[in-house]
Amino acid sequence: MPTKQILLFFVYMSTQIDCMVVGVAKTYEFLLCIAIFLVVTTSTHAATDQEALISQTASTLASADFAREKCKRVKIDEDKLASLVKRTGKTIEDLRKDEDYEDQVNALKGVEKDKGAAMVCAVLPMAHGGYGRGVLN
């Protein structure tokens, strides 16, 4: 099974598991945060820093687009996002056509379908590390 399918399966399964995690009031939020983080950070095996930048920026852009539409409490650092886009050497339109953008959109839609937009909005600020860290707050 390809890595992306395994990760998407993990996202699905993590929403079905009920376990106790000390200090986490909502187990699902914790598990979804881990799952989305894994999808974001391992969605491709980037061979170079530039490829990693493009991959993570496309994924972060997908999350920012979701947040703009459905997460009014999530703040987006538009300057940081614009800076990342500029560093990729691609346009926003190019990044929205990227496979990593599409993968993130599909992962977000899947979690939204199962658990609702509020759950996705709760974990989005914690979901992006690497280049996307700090874009969503």
For 65-86, write each residue's pLDDT tens digit: 999 999 999 999 999 999 999 9
Model confidence pLDDT, tens digit, residues 94-104: 999 999 999 99
Q: Check residue 92 and give its pLDDT.
A: 97
Q: Is residue 32 pLDDT above 90, yes or no?
A: no
Q: How far is the C-alpha of 90 from the C-alpha of 110, rounded, in Å?
A: 27
H helices within 1-137, ranges in order? 3-16, 27-41, 49-70, 78-88, 92-96, 99-115, 117-127
Report the alpha-carbon angle 116-118-122, nearest 5.
Answer: 125
Q: How confident is the model at residue 15 (pLDDT cuts 50, 70, 90)?
A: very low
Report long-range pairs for 14-20 (Cβ below 8 Å, ≥24 apart): 15/111, 15/114, 15/115
**Integer angstrom CA distances of residue 90 from 40, 57, 86:** 19, 10, 7
Intra-chain end-to-end CA distance of the chain, in Å: 33
